[in-house]
């Protein structure tokens, strides 16, 4: 790999704003989704009385994979495209491709499972069926296709819920599912006949237990979602491993509680005579609906409540799996394992081809049964997890020194055991029987589909990208964004005075000069920030290095302004999703004292003013520190006259210091124009202005103070600004609900003044 250009003092980093709760909920949101509602019957159909054993066995196998993911995520760079990036670096080709291809296929199947279940539940909610345990028909599949198209449209339109908001929604979803389970279990206290698992006709054995674990295995896939968020996670070496293990334990507890509620309330007649019971023959997804619709404590609307919880859960799972699938395809394409068209980002900042391919293959899978899709997804993730375990063994042998962070115990024994269990569980799934009306066993059909998927992938990879990628890797090394990312966070002295400038462009030298002079006057630090905004469904590697390199060079040029003034200047490029969130988080993390924002003065029609793609008013409302908005349009050097407007609500305190900062180099005349309604107002203003007049005289700055009796403040301000080099105002609070925005007069002055305007908004901290 070629050495990247040295960015000097500019730090480039991905915004890390996700904590342990967010990571745990990200994994749990993918895990606790469609499978828990749809596969209760499919698991019972093969495991029977050993259903709980199947869930525990699947949880044990997944927990071993969780250990491997926890180690790889601890102390290593995040794999924003998925775990295949670790496999690619640890194992020989084509292991990395096969791992990524399996991950993509697994997420496609999981998306299809969510869409098909969502269609079935929504149709059952809108048009209840007269009979239970019927196979999914054409109506459900058509509705699932429509819902998949809607979800794809949301991705194309970039309609995404913020990660932290999604975490809270996932938590609520889990509470609702636990609430459903609690009501179901509590209803056991009420006497009822024909309830509970009936007597099986034959005993269940190890094969049934393994088949149940295999078909339900898809319910535990969620690690990839966490891995893809690793670069956005605070202290990922600690947070990601803990989040993975907590998610496994949380989801296992939810599954056990839910299955207990379903099976204890199931109609005895429907479960008697296993494996030939009515609940085992077809329409196995109906077991949960039938069981929890008959509980005594639910009331007349309990069935609808249960279906609504299922619809909400599966909608979230569909979105999460589609996002993960697009990220995997995008990452593999950027790593040149797949054609470049899959990662081409168009004008809407969406990989249209990758999204279309993901949705298209998912739509094809809707033609198969739920059991077939679930087994197909399980096979894909079992293969992926086997590669991950192999990577742990390989990297342990390759690394001479022990890395900090989580470590899988008893390597290579534990990974080898896990690989054996993964492969054995995948092989056993061949024996999963055919659903009602099916011509081929679901396990056999899923195995054939999986084999075709792997063969097609290898052929496609070899002829469309594999050979060419090998040549390019050897001959044309490329510098990517991850090569210039700063691996560690800066140590910030929170007690130090700090001026913060979020910058969209790199042309406003006067704005940076003001920020640097404010920092120098307080012996503080100047912090410069430029944010590279990316869509939520794309990883950080979606940004081309050339684009970031332009930001680095722009910040380097602006940082020299502060350095020439002898101010400690810290320029940073951050890659993230929401610009205003990143700005506010940075202000909180760095204990910013003054936020300086520029406005070029391009709009005077009352339209919203925007900086960095966000509304200036939003930042003014939410910032707790002092805020300076500086319209530099039309500024000319040297400054000749500064006009400070004061009034009963426009204090001179604070704005006087900024006037002295502006006057530092050019020593312009300072004119204080005080607007008063009566002599008493004038006297109060004169007393407030007096100390500033003395300061100006002591520094040799020409200063003049005049009082005007007028209530037409806007007209006076515009008139006084006609021959001024800059107009300065300390803004007041407009009151009401918006306590920290500019009032209408101040807003119009900023827009309409013929000269540069500086507005100070005092903070609340």
Dihedral, CA of residue 375, residue 377, residue 383 and residue 389, to nearest 10: -110
Percent of the chain at pLDDT exceeding 70: 88
Domain contains 331? yes
User: Is the pTM here over 0.75, yes or no?
Assistant: yes
Show Cβ contacts of residue 2 under 8 Å, excluding neighbours closer than 6 positions.
477, 478, 479
CB neighbour class for 406 (10 Å; exposed up to 12, middle 13-18, buried from 19): buried
Token pair of 338, please? 């797949």
Domain contains 485? no
Q: Does residue 491 have a pLDDT over 90?
A: no
Percent of the chain at pLDDT exceeding 90: 48
Domain contains 467? no
Q: What's the whole-number mean pLDDT along residues 274-296?
A: 77
DSSP secondary structure code for residue 11 in this structure: E
**What helix, strand, coil percent values describe the chain, rounded to 5?**
60, 10, 30
What is the average pLDDT score of the chain?
85
Per-residue pLDDT band at 112 (split at 50, 70, 90): very high
- Least confident piece of the model among 378-382, 433-437, 699-703: 433-437
Question: 275 with 196: CB under 8 angstroms?
Answer: no
Calpha distance 210→374 (Å, rounded): 15
Token pair of 763, please? 């903070």
For the chain, the first-to-last Cα distance in angstroms comes to 48
Q: Does residue 6 have a pLDDT over 50?
A: no
Q: Does residue 527 have a pLDDT over 50?
A: yes
pLDDT tens figures, 649-686:
999 999 999 999 999 999 999 999 999 989 999 999 99
Calpha distance 410→94 (Å, rounded): 27
Domain contains 519? no
Antiparallel, parallel or unpaired: β 594-599 and 626-631 = parallel
**Structural domain count, the chain:** 2
Strand partners, 433: none
Q: Does residue 90 have a pLDDT over 50?
A: yes
Looking at residue 714, its pLDDT comes to 87
Q: Which of 415, 430, 445 is the last residue of a domain?
A: 430
Q: C-alpha distances in angstroms, 301 versus 182, 261, 295, 296, 305?
A: 16, 18, 11, 11, 6
Question: 335 with 81: CB under 8 angstroms?
Answer: yes
Q: Which of 430, 445, 462 is the last residue of a domain?
A: 430
Calpha distance 389→383 (Å, rounded): 10
Calpha distance 713→226 (Å, rounded): 56
- Among candidate residues 62, 6, 369, the one with its CA nearest the CA of residue 217: 62
Q: What's the whole-number mean pLDDT along residues 710-732?
A: 89
Antiparallel, parallel or unpaired: β 641-646 and 726-730 = parallel
Show Cβ contacts of residue 432 under 8 Å, excluding neighbours closer than 6 positions.
46, 211, 214, 215, 371, 375, 441, 442, 443, 446
- Among candidate residues 323, 6, 314, 12, the one with its CA nearest the CA of residue 159: 323
Structural domain including 718 reads 634-765
Per-residue pLDDT band at 404 (split at 50, 70, 90): low
Q: Does residue 471 have a pLDDT over 60?
A: no
- Least confident piece of the model among 280-284, 291-295, 344-348, 736-740: 736-740
Domain contains 168? yes
How many C-beta atoms lie closer than 10 Å to residue 197's C-beta? 19
CB neighbour class for 53 (10 Å; exposed up to 12, middle 13-18, buried from 19): middle
Q: Does residue 577 have a pLDDT over 50?
A: yes
Domain contains 158? yes
Q: Which of 410, 430, 450 is the last residue of a domain?
A: 430
Q: What is the CATH number of the domain that holds 161?
A: 1.20.1740.10
Token pair of 501, please? 């400038």
Domain contains 629? no
3-state secondary structure (DSSP) of residue 530: strand
Q: Does residue 481 have a pLDDT over 70?
A: no
Token pair of 264, please? 């204890």
pLDDT tens figures, 225-283:
787 777 778 888 888 889 988 999 999 999 999 999 999 888 888 888 888 888 787 66
Strand partners, 674: 646, 707
Per-residue pLDDT band at 97 (split at 50, 70, 90): very high
Calpha distance 185→304 (Å, rounded): 18
Question: 14 with 575: CB under 8 angstroms?
Answer: yes
Calpha distance 218→417 (Å, rounded): 20
Using the Cα atoms of residue 271, residue 277, residue 278 and residue 281 in order, give the sign of their dihedral. positive
Strand partners, 233: 18
3-state secondary structure (DSSP) of residue 649: coil
Q: What is the CATH number of the domain that holds 717?
A: 3.40.50.620
Domain contains 563? no
How many C-beta atoms lie closer than 10 Å to residue 189's C-beta? 9
pLDDT tens figures, 177-217:
999 899 888 888 777 667 778 788 888 889 999 999 999 99
Question: 624 with 765: CB under 8 angstroms?
Answer: yes
3-state secondary structure (DSSP) of residue 457: helix
């Amino acid at each position: 790999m070629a050495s990247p250009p040295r960015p000097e003092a500019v730090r480039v980093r991905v915004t890390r704003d996700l904590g342990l709760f967010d990571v745990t909920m990200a994994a749990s949101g993918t895990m606790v989704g469609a499978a828990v509602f749809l596969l209760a019957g499919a698991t019972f159909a093969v495991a029977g009385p050993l259903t709980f054993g199947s869930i525990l066995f699947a949880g044990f196998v997944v927990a071993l994979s969780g250990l491997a993911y926890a180690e790889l995520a601890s102390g290593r760079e995040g794999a924003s495209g998925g775990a295949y990036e670790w496999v690619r670096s640890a194992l020989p080709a084509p292991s990395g491709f096969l791992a990524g291809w399996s991950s993509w296929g697994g997420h496609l199947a999981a998306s299809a499972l969510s869409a098909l279940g969502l269609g079935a539940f929504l149709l059952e909610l809108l048009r209840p069926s007269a009979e239970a345990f019927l196979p999914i028909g054409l109506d459900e599949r058509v509705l699932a296709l429509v819902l998949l198209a809607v979800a794809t449209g949301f991705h194309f339109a970039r309609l995404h819920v913020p990660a932290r908001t999604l975490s809270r929604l996932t938590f609520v979803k889990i509470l609702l599912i636990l609430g459903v389970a609690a009501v179901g279990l509590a209803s056991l206290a009420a006497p009822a006949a024909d309830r509970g698992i009936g007597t099986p006709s034959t005993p269940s054995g190890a094969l049934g237990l393994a088949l149940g674990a295999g078909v339900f295995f898809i319910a535990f896939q969620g690690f990839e979602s966490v891995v893809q968020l690793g670069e956005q996670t605070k202290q990922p070496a600690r947070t990601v491993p803990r989040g993975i293990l907590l998610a496994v334990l949380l989801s296992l507890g939810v599954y056990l509680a839910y299955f207990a509620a379903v099976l204890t309330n199931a109609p005895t007649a429907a479960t008697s005579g296993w494996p030939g019971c009515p609940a085992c023959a077809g329409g196995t997804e109906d077991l949960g609906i039938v069981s929890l619709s008959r509980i005594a404590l639910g009331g007349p609307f309990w069935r609808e409540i249960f279906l609504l919880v299922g619809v909400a859960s599966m909608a979230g799972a569909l979105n999460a799996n589609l996002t993960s699938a697009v990220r995997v395809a995008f990452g593999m394409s950027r790593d040149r394992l797949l054609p470049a068209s899959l990662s081409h980002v168009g004008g809407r900042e969406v990989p249209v081809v990758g999204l279309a391919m993901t949705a298209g293959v998912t739509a094809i899978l809707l033609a198969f049964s739920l059991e077939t899709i679930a087994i197909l997804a399980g096979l894909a993730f079992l293969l992926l997890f086997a590669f991950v375990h192999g990577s742990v063994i390989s990297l342990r042998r390759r690394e001479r020194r022990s890395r900090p962070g989580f470590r899988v115990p008893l390597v290579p024994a534990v990974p080898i055991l896990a690989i054996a269990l993964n492969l054995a569980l995948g092989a056993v799934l061949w024996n999963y029987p055919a659903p009602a009306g099916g011509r081929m066993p679901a396990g056999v059909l899923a195995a054939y589909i999986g084999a075709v998927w792997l063969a097609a992938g290898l052929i496609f990879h070899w002829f469309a990208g594999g050979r060419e990628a090998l040549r390019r890797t050897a001959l044309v090394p490329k510098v990517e964004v991850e090569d210039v990312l700063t691996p560690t966070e800066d140590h910030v002295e929170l007690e130090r005075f700090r001026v913060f400038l979020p910058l969209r462009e790199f042309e406003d030298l006067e704005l940076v000069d003001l920020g640097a002079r404010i920092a120098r006057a307080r012996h503080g630090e100047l912090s410069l920030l430029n944010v590279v905004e990316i869509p939520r469904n794309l990883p950080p590697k979606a940004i081309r290095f050339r684009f970031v390199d332009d930001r680095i060079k722009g910040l380097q040029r602006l940082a020299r302004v502060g350095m020439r003034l002898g101010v400690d200047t810290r320029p940073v490029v951050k890659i993230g999703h929401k610009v205003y969130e990143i700005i506010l988080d940075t202000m909180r993390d760095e204990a910013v004292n003054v936020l300086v924002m520029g406005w070029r003065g391009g709009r005077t029609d009352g339209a919203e003013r925007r900086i960095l793609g966000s509304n200036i008013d939003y930042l003014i409302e939410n910032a707790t520190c002092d805020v300076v908005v500086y319209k530099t349009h039309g500024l000319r050097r040297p400054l000749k006259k500064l006009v400070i407007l004061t009034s009963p609500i426009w204090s001179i305190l604070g704005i006087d210091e900024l006037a002295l900062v502006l006057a530092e180099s050019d020593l312009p005349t300072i004119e204080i124009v005080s607007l008063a309604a009566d002599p008493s107002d004038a006297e109060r203003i004169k007393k407030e202005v007096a100390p500033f007049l003395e300061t100006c005289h002591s520094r040799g700055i020409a200063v003049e103070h005049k009082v005007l009796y007028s209530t037409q403040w806007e007209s006076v301000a515009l008139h006084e600004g006609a021959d001024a080099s800059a107009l300065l105002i300390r803004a007041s609070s407009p009151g009401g609900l918006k306590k920290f925005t500019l009032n209408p007069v101040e807003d119009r002055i900023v827009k309409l003044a013929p000269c540069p305007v500086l507005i100070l908004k005092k903070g609340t901290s």
